[in-house]
Structure 1
Amino acid sequence: MPMPNAAMLKGSGTSRNAKKRGRKSVEESDENCETDSEAETETEEALGTKVKAGESKGKEVEPVSKTDKVPPVISHSESGAGVNLSSEVLEYPDPEFSDFEKQRAENCFAVNQVWAIYDSLDSMPRFYARIKKVFKPGFKLRITWLEADPDEENEQNWVDQSLPVSCGKYCNGLTEDCVDRLMFSHRIYPIKSFGKFGCLVYPKKGEVWALFKDWNIKWASEPENHKPAYRYDFVEVLTNLDKEMGIWVSHLDKVKGFVSIFKQTARDGVICFRVSSGDLYRFSHQIPAVKMTGKEREGVPVGSFELDPASLPTDLILEKE
């Protein structure tokens, strides 16, 4: 799927940078910013996950793609100093009711937070990093990359083939500095941190996630046939992960006439379904979302969600009908 350029969205969209796109600048207040290091919920007992002792894995940084959603990207040198790479910025339509930019304003970043970062495959927020230090003034962070570190052989095969991962067990990778705020999508809350050994990240009740359509763990046996553009289903997470039962989710479909409003919808008479604990790599990425009251405007369904357009495939958000 070719990424749209600014000309394709002229007049109907904005870039990630509020100042560049002429929308009102984000106020530097603490409103809607959770900058404390909140305790992650300790549910690892339900998962039966073991943490390996030993050194953390390093991140093999791939050449940065300059496709241009919001660059994933920093490079690194042997000294560990991060170098920001110049990149174009992909523009996308504004959400109609919610200001997702407030959640990633400069003042929202704090030590020990974990953030999702747009990846270099199709610019979806699948990379994770923990903030180690915040430099002032201006925007500069020291981050430690989190690396997928699965225990299951089939999941390790998936990781070895460089297929996209956004949940499971992570270990600490390289630490480097970055100055590009546009690469950050949203804060995430691991269900458990293991200090220098990493953390666990799984979909949680109330979140909205994308699922890979027609996913199969056997993609790892022919990775050349499973590259972007990926197709997605969208779901609301109804339950936290249970080792035996997996995760229950419900279908979400786009509401016609809106940029990124999605509502719960039955497919073939089925609204809810289960993703087993052995199929968690089916989850592509979390999407920042705000639940609607139905009072926002005529036609907005009660209990629907407005999704962050920056975390949706471009062909989907370009179509309002």
Structure 2
Amino acid sequence: MYVTSSDGATTFSSSRTGNFLSPGLSCDASRKTNEDGESSNASKVKDFQTGQIWSYYSGKDDLPLYYCRIQKITVTQVFEEEAVVKICVYRLKATPFPANVIQWEDKKMPVGCGTFMVTKIFEAFTTDDVSLLVVPQTSMDGTEHTILPKTGDVWAIYRSWTCHKEFKDMGSCSYDIVEVLDNTLDYKVLALEPALFSNEEEGKNSFFRAAESRHPDWDVEDGLEVTFTIPKSKMLRFSHQIPATRVTKVVNGDLKELFEVDSRALPSNVRFQDHGVKREQ
């Protein structure tokens, strides 16, 4: 439905399924190779539809720790100005875990994976408030959505994880970045490290590669190898999924396959750490 106000603003509102494009990092961006042999995202848009599940930014670190379902999308445009998209959503809430999963003692702690139900808590977001389109396994009646780490995903995990972490300490948590290699039984993951960073400007993306060694403060239970296993009983160690695309770039004269990730979704200890890597100009 279109509505034009006295100030010339035209608003389109819809709760029906439909596509709305907005600038951002696409979840399924295609790959394009330039003259330097570098591969980059050919598409940089977010494609919104009602009924979709998205992670959204919140909390002390402004990380995409929570999920929501799009209920309605409104687009407002004043004359020749750029259209403003508002996303009306309902928050998701985690359902109780099976007995074999170690749970947070502090029930205020965010839950990154598990089974979720749609609540009646309503929010109005801008396109910058959401991070990643999630495709969950949905129950037959549509009331429950299961979100779990899958092979090929890039996730932030808690370093030195314990179920005793408290919500009030979220701002001081340390994280590692991993690629999920296998999720058949437990979660086999590969530690990632920065390969090179774009200039530290908001909206820039970062690049990660397979780590050559573990961080000095690694969790002893993981062992020394860059490939290690997280038991499904400790699935809450997975904090949040990072929007990531496989790309090819020249690093120190060699062509390397890397992950290009959305810098905003990176925890501060990862975003600002100094690995002595060459910065991309």
Q: Find the partner of 1:191 among 127, 134, 137.
A: 137
Give CA-to-partner distance per residue, 1:104-157, whole Å, 9 cap, x none: 3xxx11011111101223111111011122234442333121101123368695
| Cross-structure match for 2:226 | 271
Tell whether the 8 Å contact from 1:32 to 1:103 is kept in structure 2 after alignment. yes
> Over aligned residues, Cα RMSD in angstroms?
3.4
| Cross-structure match for 2:72 | 133
Aligned pairs for 1:1-321 (under 5 A) are: 102-104=44-46, 108-137=47-76, 138-152=84-98, 158=104, 160-217=106-163, 219=164, 223=166, 226-239=169-182, 241-242=183-184, 245-255=185-195, 260-267=206-213, 270-295=225-250, 298-299=252-253, 302-318=256-272, 321=276
Unmatched tracts of structure 1, length 5 or more: 1-26, 35-95
More strand by share: 2
Deviating more after overlay: 193-202 vs 109-118:
193-202
Larger Rg: 2
Structure 1 residues 310 and 213: CA distance shift in structure 2, 3 A: same
DSSP-derived class of the 2:44 partner: helix
Structure 1 residues 276 and 170: CA distance shift in structure 2, 3 A: same
Structure 1 residues 208 and 135: CA distance shift in structure 2, 3 A: same
The percentage of counterpart residues that share the same residue type is: 27
Q: CA deviation at 1:230?
A: 1.2
Tell whether the 8 Å contact from 2:157 to 2:239 is kept in structure 1 after alignment. yes
TM-score, normalised via structure 2 length? 0.67
Which amino acid in 2 is paired with 1:131? I
DSSP-derived class of the 2:88 partner: strand
DSSP-derived class of the 2:136 partner: coil
Distance 1:250 1:304 in 2: 13
More helix by share: 1
TM-score, normalised via structure 1 length? 0.60
Which amino acid in 2 is paired with 1:206? G
> Which runs of 4 or more aligned residues in structure 1 lie more than 6 Å from their structure 2 counterparts after TM superposition?
none
Tell whether the 8 Å contact from 2:66 to 2:110 is kept in structure 1 after alignment. no
Tell whether the 8 Å contact from 2:87 to 2:127 is kept in structure 1 after alignment. no
